[in-house]
Each structure stands twice: as C-alpha cells, then as structure tokens.
C-alpha cells in the first residue's frame, strides 16, 4: 500500500483550474520527484496535499486515510510535513526557535537528534534565521520539518538559489533522511538535480501529469525532457 496516494486531484485559484486531476503515489522509504516548467502547478500540488491550498475535488490518502480538506496542522499531525518554497523560515526568530516550532505540534523540544544530522546548525542556534546563508536556511527548513519526525516530507524548490556544491550537499542529506525512514517528495525546477536523487518521478505540465516512471528512464528520454522541461 502506498504511504501517500493522490487521485484525480483538482484545485485552482479564483475559478481557474491549476491542477486538472493529478494521480501520484509515494511508498515507504521512497524519494519521488515532481518536475516541470515554472507555472506547471508543482507548488500548488504540494500545497493541496499538505492542506495549505484548498482542494476542489479528488482524494489525498495518507496511511489510507483521506486527508483532503483537513487543516494543514491536522495533516501534519498525521505525519506529513511540507517545507514550502523559499523555505518560509521565521526570519526574526532564532534557529533554535525555528526548530522548536517544527516540533510544536508533536510537543517535541529535543533538538539534539536533528542537530546530529545537521551539525552546521549547532553553532548558529542563537542566530536569527534571516541572517543565515541560503544553504543554511535550507538546512534549517529541512531540520525544522524533521523535528516533527514525519513519515513523509514534501520539499519545494530545495535547490533554489543555492550553489551547485551546496545543492549537492543537501541532496546527500536528503538521501540519508529517506534511508532513515522518511519518504520524500521533491519539487524542483532543476529537473536533473531532482531526478538524480529520486527513484521515481512525475512530469507536470499545465496542471496535468504528462509522464511518470523511474527517474533513470525519464532522464534518458531526451525528447521528453526537451519537450517538457526548461
């Protein structure tokens, strides 16, 4: 059984459809990428799954339970964490406070476990998160998400604005996180980066899934990549 099962999901803003009936599956320990040109609906898809964007129709099943229409905090309590685009850290709050907020719902105050995974943050705990570099902010955002000990994490544009070395470093950590038992859904405009770490991928175009399959197979299909990706 899939950990996350999305069926015929539609949503939109002000009457205009953004997603036109998306199907998506994510299994345990799996890394799945959703790629596509800008404006294809990737961020909306993640928002609709996590409860930040209202769902018009369709279902989102987490552990077999339909969560479409639930509030974001209730979906999070069921084990799904969303790391939004541009990290959305609380800039005026310290790294420590950001991490504590990640564990807010679950009542977790022990930040030691995530600091072991992100030792870079140890010396920055009392720094306002707005003062961190782009890479550190992304690490902090992922660490904040892990504070909830999620079963699945949706990460939006994880490589945005990062140097290739830092993006690679984050990819390595994401692979470790998945190996530790947290499934990942990665959305990124840089298709090659996302596909390099994901086992399977979906290509989204104008709100529709136009192709899906093992990442290696999609990466090898140059005609497909040229047609749908920037």
Interface with another protein, residue 126, by CB under 8 A: yes
Candidate list 12, 28, 128, 216; residue touching another protein; CB under 8 A: 128
Interface with another protein, residue 42, by CB under 8 A: no
Stretch that binds another protein, among 100-108, 168-176, 186-194, 198-206 (CB under 8 A): 100-108
Interface with another protein, residue 73, by CB under 8 A: yes
Which strands, in side-by-side order, build the sheet including 57-62?
16-26, 4-13, 57-62, 65-66
Candidate list 17, 100, 160, 175; residue touching another protein; CB under 8 A: 100
| Residue 103 CB, nearest approach to another protein (Å) | 8
Phi-psi region of 114 (alpha: psi -120 to 50; beta: other; left: phi over 0): alpha
Inter-residue contact 77 to 104 (CB < 8 Å): no
| Residue 106 CB, nearest approach to another protein (Å) | 7
Stretch that binds another protein, among 60-68, 101-109, 112-120, 205-213 (CB under 8 A): 101-109
Inter-residue contact 159 to 193 (CB < 8 Å): yes
Nearer to another protein by Cβ, of 19 and 147: the residue is 147
Interface with another protein, residue 105, by CB under 8 A: yes
Q: Which residues pair with 66 in a beta bridge?
A: 61
| Residue 126 CB, nearest approach to another protein (Å) | 6
**DSSP per-residue codes, 119-164:** GGGGGGTTSBGGGS-HHHHHHHHHHHHHTT--SEEEEESTTTT--H
Interface with another protein, residue 90, by CB under 8 A: yes
Pairing of strands 208-214, 200-205: antiparallel
At residue 190, the 3 state secondary structure works out as coil
Candidate list 4, 31, 67, 76; residue touching another protein; CB under 8 A: 76
Interface with another protein, residue 131, by CB under 8 A: no
| Residue 163 CB, nearest approach to another protein (Å) | 24
Rounded distance between C-alpha atoms, residue 93 and residue 135, angstroms = 17
Token pair recorded at residue 72: 């974001």
Q: Which residues pair with 208 in a beta bridge?
A: 205
| Residue 53 CB, nearest approach to another protein (Å) | 10
Query: Cα-atom radius of gyration of the chain, to the nearest Å?
Result: 17
**Residues in the site for another protein, rule: CB under 8 A?**
50, 52, 71-73, 76-77, 81-84, 88-94, 96-97, 100-102, 104-106, 126, 128, 144, 148
């Amino acid at each position: 059984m899939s950990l996350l099962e999305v069926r015929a999901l539609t949503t939109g803003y002000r009457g205009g459809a953004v997603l036109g009936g998306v199907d998506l599956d994510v299994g345990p320990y799996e890394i799945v990428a959703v790629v596509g040109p800008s404006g294809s609906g990737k961020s909306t898809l993640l928002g609709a799954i996590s409860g930040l964007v209202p769902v018009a129709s369709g279902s989102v099943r987490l552990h077999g339970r339909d969560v479409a229409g639930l509030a974001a905090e209730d979906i999070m309590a069921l084990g799904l964490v969303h790391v939004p685009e541009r990290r959305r850290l609380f800039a005026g709050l310290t790294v420590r406070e950001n991490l504590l907020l990640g564990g807010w719902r679950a009542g977790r105050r022990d930040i030691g476990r995530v600091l072991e995974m992100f030792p870079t943050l140890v010396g920055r705990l009392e720094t306002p998160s707005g003062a961190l570099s782009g890479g550190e902010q992304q690490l902090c955002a992922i660490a904040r998400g892990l504070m909830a000990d999620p079963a699945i994490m949706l990460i939006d544009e994880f490589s945005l604005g990062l140097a290739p070395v830092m993006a690679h470093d984050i990819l390595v950590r994401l692979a470790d996180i998945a190996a530790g038992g947290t499934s990942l859904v990665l959305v990124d405009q840089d298709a090659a980066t996302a596909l390099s770490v994901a086992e399977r991928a979906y290509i989204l175009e104008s709100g529709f899934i136009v192709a899906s399959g093992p990442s290696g197979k999609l990466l090898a299909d140059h005609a497909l990549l040229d047609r749908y990706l920037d």
